[in-house]
Amino acid sequence: MSTLLKSAALVLCAGVSCAQATETEKHWDFNIGAMYEIENVEGQGDDKDGLYEPSVWFNATWDAWTIAMAMYQEGPVDYSSMTRGTYFDRPEFELRYRIIGTDDFVLGLTGGFRNYSYHFKDEQGAKDGTANMQRYKIQPDWDLKLTNDWRFSGWFAMYQFANDLEETGYSDSRVETETGFTWTINETISAKINYYLERGFNMDSSRNNGEFSTQEIRAYLPLSLGSTTLTPYTRLGLDRWSNWDWQDDPDREGHDFNRLGLLYAYDFSNGLSMTLEYAYEWEHHDEGESDRFHYAGIGVNYAF
């Protein structure tokens, strides 16, 4: 999931107090925040490879319109030499319009733009060129009340990538979605089960680089305890394959994977909120190799 989607979840889950404005009163609502995420692979002690993504964001809402801006970094890192695939220079802009907004049904539409900057290094760590790629997005989202206890909600993003795709290895198109049902058991406990899909493909039939598919069942169990919300969750892999090594091996590589995680959110009731998250994921490859991932993230948001 992208950083903006994660920050949106932080705002919605932990910054609810600012969003509870009366329907008749129109005014600006703002959110500003930051997040730092890391992911490390077990058994990588020699070169200390990992993945990390710091990000900052600012959102502004007026009635049915929301403007979202973010700056972030995403890419692999060798902690022993601090080399990296990107710098903190990836801006993103999104504009969302709430087409319908009632207690029974919410429908929104988001358009977005993200710029990817890459800085390559050779085996000796010397600079070895750059790439500058753009991503354009259209994304509807929905939330439908089925009964007093059940809701159906989700989002569906359609991406188009342009420029320097041969250098970055990305496919030119992608779709991503997460949708499912939420059951509100009582004021403290609810349960959510979603289907998740992310699929990279090429509209240009002469290209096959960067194609992949990920399908998951994602289950969440939010526990509301006053100002604290604890959300244990799991991701159960249904299918995953990729050909990111298409230049050397065009064949698709399959994976078998699962994840367990816990998200802790705290609302300070003064506009300030924070989250802590940890997850453990295990992955098995067709070649017989196995990876174990440790994910950790910390986020802070101020709503005013």
Residues 6+ apart with CB under 8 A from 64: 97, 98, 99, 101
pLDDT for 1 equals: 43
Contact status, residue 77 vs residue 49, Cβ threshold 8 Å: yes
Distance, CA of 271 to CA of 63 (rounded, Å): 19
* Per-residue pLDDT tens digits of the chain, which is 304 residues long: 445 445 544 544 444 444 444 455 789 999 999 999 988 877 654 445 567 789 999 999 999 999 999 999 876 655 455 455 667 788 999 999 999 999 999 999 999 999 998 887 776 777 778 889 999 999 999 999 999 999 999 999 999 999 999 888 899 999 999 999 999 999 999 999 999 999 999 998 888 888 999 999 999 999 999 999 999 999 999 988 887 654 445 566 677 789 999 999 999 999 999 999 999 998 877 665 777 889 999 999 999 9
Q: How do the domains of the chain map onto residue ranges?
A: 3-303
pLDDT for 241 equals: 86
**Residue from 223, 212, 232 nearest 279 by CA:** 232
pLDDT for 290 equals: 76
Question: What secondary structure, in 3-state letters, does the chain show?
Answer: CCHHHHHHHHHHHHCHHHHCCCCCCCCEEEEEEEEEEEEEECCCCCCCEEEEEEEEEEEEEECCEEEEEEEECCEEEECCCCEECCCCCEEEEEEEEEEEECCCEEEEEEEEEEEEEEEEECCCCCEEEEEEEEEEEEEEEEEEECCCCEEEEEEEEEEEEECCHHHHCCCCEEEEEEEEEEEECCCCEEEEEEEEEEEEECCCCCCCCCCEEEEEEEEECCEEECCEEEEEEEEEEEEEEECCCCCCCCCCEEEEEEEEEEEEEEECCCCEEEEEEEEEEEEEECCCCEEEEEEEEEEEEEEC
pLDDT for 271 equals: 96
* Architecture, CATH, for domain 3-303: Beta Barrel (2.40)
